[in-house]
């Protein structure tokens, strides 16, 4: 298994993604990339777009779910896809600066990212988790 990545796994009713990364920020990036793949996002290779949003500093699981749910909203409602992320933690908030492109097409919608059996585990290689998506 590579040091960072993601892989779709079988789930009875929803979609699930196994994600791993050397640290928490890498885990967030891999989770975003994997989620966009699950959605079948096709991007418009035009001009780059940028965005900034904040997340409350909370448990790692809550930050992960809030981060991905914000990306779902931005993809589904605004048509934004982000491939680059910079994270800054100050006080009680995470600031996320992201860059990407406009979405041309989404093949599969995601309603929400869930907390179902969500647990981020430390391994010798870094962090890993399984994320369930409500479709």
pLDDT of residue 9: 77
The structure tokens listed for 73 are 């909203």
**Confidence band (pLDDT; 50, 70, 90) for 2?**
low
Using the predicted structure, report yes or no on whether residue 92 has a pLDDT greater than 80.
yes
pLDDT of residue 3: 67
Question: Which domains occur in the chain, in start order?
Answer: 5-134 (3.55.10.10)
The model's pTM is 0.92
pLDDT of residue 12: 64
Q: What is the DSSP string of the chain?
A: --SSEEEEE--SSSEEEEEEESSHHHHHHHHHHHHHHHHT-EE--SS-EEEEEEEE---HHHHHHHHHHHHHHIIIII-EEEEEEEEEEETTEEEEEEEEEEEEE-SS---EE--TT---EE-SSSEEEEEEEE-
Tens digit of each residue's pLDDT (9 = 90 or more) over 37-70: 999 999 998 889 999 999 999 999 999 999 999 9
pLDDT of residue 58: 93
Please state, rounded to an integer, the average pLDDT across all residues of the chain: 93
pLDDT of residue 72: 98
The structure tokens listed for 110 are 């995601």
């Amino acid at each position: 298994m590579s040091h960072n990545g993601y892989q779709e796994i079988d789930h009875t009713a929803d979609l699930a993604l196994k994600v791993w990364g050397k640290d928490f920020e890498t885990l967030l990036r891999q989770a975003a990339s994997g989620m966009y793949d699950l959605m079948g996002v096709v991007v418009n290779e035009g001009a780059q777009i940028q965005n900034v949003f904040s997340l409350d500093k909370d448990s790692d699981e809550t930050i992960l779910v809030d981060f991905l749910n914000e990306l779902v909203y931005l993809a589904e409602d605004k048509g934004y896809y982000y491939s680059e992320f910079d994270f800054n933690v100050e006080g009680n908030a995470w600031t996320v600066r992201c860059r990407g492109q406009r979405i041309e097409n989404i093949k599969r919608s995601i309603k929400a990212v869930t907390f179902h059996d969500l647990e981020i585990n430390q391994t010798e290689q870094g962090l890993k988790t399984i994320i369930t998506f409500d479709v």
